Structure 1
C-alpha cells in the first residue's frame, strides 16, 4: 500500500537486524503479501495520513511509526502471532494491534501457552495490546488473545452504525470485553480493483482503539494509564443483551484526551 509507506520506517532488533516497514513470518522475509486487503484496511483505519489517494484519514494519522507484522498467508498461525509480539517487543513498540483470534479448542495447549506467556511479557514491558473480540455473535470466552486480559490489554467489541449506541449484530461480547468502537460499514478507501470498500468486523474496531491509545501515549500518558482512561471516559449504553465488562462502554476519544 504505497500511501501507507511513509509511516513504515525502519526498526532495528536487539541483534542488529533492520526491519524496514514490516516482516512476513510465513516465509521469514521482509516481503509482505496481499491477503484479501484485511491488513491494509486495518492499517488505514489506524493510521492513514490525510491527502492520500484513497480518501481516508486514520484515527492516529501523525506522530506514529507503523510496522506491519504479517501472520496470515492466508491462514493465520498462532505461533506466528507469538513471534510477531516477540518482535514488536524487541523493536520497542508501544502499542500492538491484533485483529485476529483463536478459540482455545482450536489450538494446541503448548501453542496457547506460548502466546499467553509472550502477551504477559509484553505487558510487563509496558506495551499496550489491543485485540478484537470476534464476529461470531457469541461470547468471547476462551477466544485469544482477547480473553487473556491484563492491565495493559484491551479487548474490543464492534458498535453498529446505528444512531444509538449498540453492539453490532455480529459482535462478540462477555465480561472480559473491555470497550466497543464503531465496526460496521467503515469506509476503508478503495480496494485493488479501485472499488470503494466498506468493511465490518471487530477487526476494524480494534485499530480505532489502538489509534486512541497511540494518541494518549503521544500526549505523554503512561502506558499503564491508557486503558483506565479509555474505560473511564467511555460512554455507557444498554448492554443487557450483549454485555461487556462492568463499566465497559463505547469509546469516546475526545473525552479521553
Structure 2
C-alpha cells in the first residue's frame, strides 16, 4: 500500500474515517494480522477488497455477495484505497466473508449461529454483525452462541438498529452484553434520527451517507447503524493489532473511555460517545 501523505489523504479518505481519527492510529498499525469476519450477505469481489476466505452457511455455496450490504460493510472495515475512493478503518486486516444472509438480506438464526461457530473454529478475532434479529423465539440460542464466541476471546460488534428516537430498545444481538453495540452519527456529529435508542449502546460511529464498496466493483452511499458498526469493528482490530494480548473487555472499555461525548444526547442515544482512535494506545 502506498504511503499516505498530507497531499493524498483528503482525496482517499472519506469524512467518516477522518471523523473517527483512524489515520492517527495508522502510525502504529493498520490492523495487520487481525482476522475480521463480516457476518452478513457475503462479500463480492472488488478491486478495493482483499478477501482472505469465508463460508456460506445458507447452502454451502459461494460466499460472494448477491445483495450488496455485506460488501458495503466490508469496505468500511477494510477498503484498500486502490481506486482513490476510500480507505477502510483498518485496511490491512485479514477480511473474511461469512454469508449467513440471502440476496434479500434475510436469514435464519440457525445459519447465523453456524457462522458464529465457524468464526470460533477458524480463529477470528473480530466479528461484525450489522443486522437485527426479529422476534424472540430464538434469541436464547443466538445469545448462547455469542457467549461461546466471547469466551473464546472473539470481539463481537453489532449495530444498534434503525428504529429511531422512539424505539426504546436496541436490536439483538447488539443488546447482548457480550457485544459492542454501535449507534450512528451524522457528518455534523449528531445522532442520526434513524438510530435506535435504548440501554446497552456502547459507542457511536458515522452511519449517514457513508461511501463504501459495492457490487460490480462500484461504490455506493448507504445510511444505517449497519454502516456505523464496521467503523468500530475496524477500530477494535487496530487496538488488537497495536496491543497484542489485550482482552475483548479491555478493548470495549478503552474504546468507550476514549470516545467523544456528544452534547445534548444521553447515553441511551450515544453510549459513551463518538469513537475516537487517535489516543487508543495511550493509558
Shift of 1:50: 2.4
Alignment of 1:183 onto 2:207: yes
The whole-number CA distance in structure 2 between the counterparts of 1:254 and 1:68 is 28
TM-score, scaled relative to structure 1: 0.83
Mapped partners of 1:66, 1:125: distance in 2: 19
In structure 1, distance between residues paired with 2:120 and 2:59: 20
- Paired residue total: 233
CA distance in 2, matches of 1:250, 1:33: 32
Q: 1:129 to 1:140 in 2, by over 3 A?
A: farther
**Alignment partner, residue 237 of structure 1:** 262
Q: Which residue of 2 aligns with 1:225?
A: 250
Structure 2 CA distance for partners of 1:89 and 1:6, relative to 1, 3 Å: same
Alpha-carbon distance between aligned partners in 2 of 1:102 and 1:119, rounded to the nearest angstrom:
13
Q: 2:190 aligns with which of 158, 166, 170?
A: 166
Can you give the 5+ residue segments of structure 1 that lack an aligned partner in the other structure? 10-20
Displacement, 1:135?
A: 0.7
Structure number with higher relative contact order (C-alpha < 8 Å, ≥ 6 residues apart)? 2
1:31-86 CA-to-partner distances (Å, cap 9, x unmatched) read: 124333101010001011122x4722110001x21110011112222221111111
Pick the aligned partner of 1:203 from 190, 209, 226: 226
Structure 2 spans left out of the alignment, 5+ residues: 1-43
Alpha-carbon distance change, 3 to 178 in structure 1, aligned in 2, over 3 angstroms: same
Q: Deviation of residue 191 (structure 1)? A: 4.6
Determine if contact 1:4/1:44 at 8 Å carries over to the other structure. no
Q: 2:85 aligns with which of 55, 68, 71?
A: 55
1:25 deviation in Å?
1.2
